C-alpha cells in the first residue's frame, strides 16, 4: 500500500514525503499501544479518520503537528483522500458475468458478479480521457456539483472474461470512462455491445440537425 500511496502522491502533485510521515505516525501509535499495525495496512477511510481523530486529541502529537507546520495532519488528510480514491476505484459494478468473477487474470468469489478494477489503471484512464462518459458525454460534476467530481465507471473494451489470463492493462488503449447508464447498455447483450454500437443507438433515436433557420427533425 505504501508504494501505491507514493505513486498516488506523485500523480496528484503532492509531496512524496507524506508517505514517510504516515510511517512516523504509525510508529507513534504503536509506541503508545493504540495499534500494533501500520496505517498502510488499513483499507478503510472511515477507520483511518477514526485513528486520525484519536491521534490529534493527544496533546503531544497536536503540538508536534503545530510545530511541524501541520505536516502530520496534511499527510493524514492526503492518505485518507488516497484511501477514498482507491475505494471509489474498486466499487463493485455488475458486468453481467455468470457464476464467476475475474480480477486481472485471477478468479475469485465476491458477493455479486463483477470485475475488480485496477485502481492505478483506472486513474490513468480518467487522467487521459477525463471523468466524462466517452459515449454520451455525461459529466457527473457538471450535473451534481462537487459530489459528482471524479465519479465515472471504467469499461474494459475487451472483456476480461474473454481474456481469462494474466495480462497487462493499457489504460489508454484498453479502458474508457463510461457513465453507469451507457455501461449497463453495453452489457445488455452477450457478447457486449461495442462503444460505437451504443453511440449509434443514441444517434438513431432522434437525429436533429441544427441549421441557421431552425431545428429540423429527421426520423
Q: Tens of pLDDT along 124-142?
A: 888 999 999 999 899 998 8
Backbone conformation region of residue 96, classed left if phi is above 0, alpha if psi is from -120 to 50, else beta: left
Confidence (pTM): 0.47
Cα–Cα distance between 203 and 195 in angstroms, integer? 13
Closest CA to 52 of 65, 67, 15: 65
Whether residue 151 is predicted with pLDDT greater than 80 in this model: the reply is yes
- Average pLDDT for 20-30: 90
Whether residue 25 is predicted with pLDDT greater than 80 in this model: the reply is yes
Q: What is the pLDDT of residue 133?
A: 93
Q: What is the pLDDT of residue 2?
A: 77
Cell of 57: 486529541
Beta strands in the chain (DSSP E): 153-156, 175-178, 207-211, 214-218
Per-residue confidence band for 117, with pLDDT thresholds at 50, 70 and 90: low
119 or 73: which carries more pLDDT confidence?
A: 73
Report in angstroms the alpha-carbon separations of 122 from 47, 71, 93, 100. Answer: 24, 29, 14, 22
- Average pLDDT for 135-156: 87
Closest CA to 153 of 172, 174, 125, 128: 125
pLDDT digits (tens, 9 = 90+) for 178-195: 998 898 888 888 778 899
Cα–Cα distance between 8 and 120 in angstroms, integer? 8
Per-residue confidence band for 166, with pLDDT thresholds at 50, 70 and 90: low
Give the residue carrying C-alpha cell 463510461: 178
Amino acid at each position: 500500500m505504501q508504494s501505491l500511496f507514493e505513486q498516488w502522491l506523485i500523480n496528484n502533485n503532492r509531496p512524496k514525503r507524506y508517505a514517510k510521515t504516515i510511517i512516523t505516525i504509525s510508529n507513534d501509535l504503536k509506541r503508545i499501544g493504540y495499534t500494533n499495525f501500520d496505517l498502510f495496512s488499513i483499507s478503510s477511510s472511515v477507520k483511518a479518520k477514526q485513528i486520525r481523530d484519536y491521534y490529534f486529541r493527544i496533546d503531544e502529537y497536536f503540538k508536534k503537528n503545530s510545530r511541524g507546520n501541520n505536516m502530520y495532519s496534511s499527510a493524514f488528510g492526503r492518505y485518507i483522500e488516497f484511501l477514498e480514491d482507491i475505494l471509489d476505484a474498486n466499487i463493485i459494478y455488475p458486468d453481467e458475468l455468470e457464476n464467476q468473477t475475474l480480477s486481472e487474470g485471477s478468479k475469485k468469489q465476491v458477493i455479486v458478479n463483477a470485475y475488480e478494477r485496477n485502481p492505478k489503471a483506472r486513474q490513468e484512464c480518467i487522467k487521459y480521457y477525463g471523468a466524462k462518459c466517452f459515449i454520451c458525454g455525461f459529466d457527473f460534476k457538471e450535473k451534481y456539483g462537487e459530489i459528482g467530481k471524479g465519479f465515472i465507471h471504467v469499461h474494459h473494451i475487451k472483456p476480461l472474461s474473454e481474456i481469462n489470463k494474466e495480462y497487462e492493462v493499457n489504460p489508454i488503449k484498453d479502458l474508457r470512462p463510461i457513465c453507469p447508464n451507457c455501461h449497463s447498455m453495453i452489457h445488455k447483450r452477450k457478447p457486449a455491445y461495442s462503444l460505437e454500437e451504443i453511440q449509434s443507438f443514441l444517434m438513431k433515436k432522434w437525429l436533429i440537425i441544427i441549421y441557421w433557420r431552425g431545428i429540423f427533425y429527421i426520423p
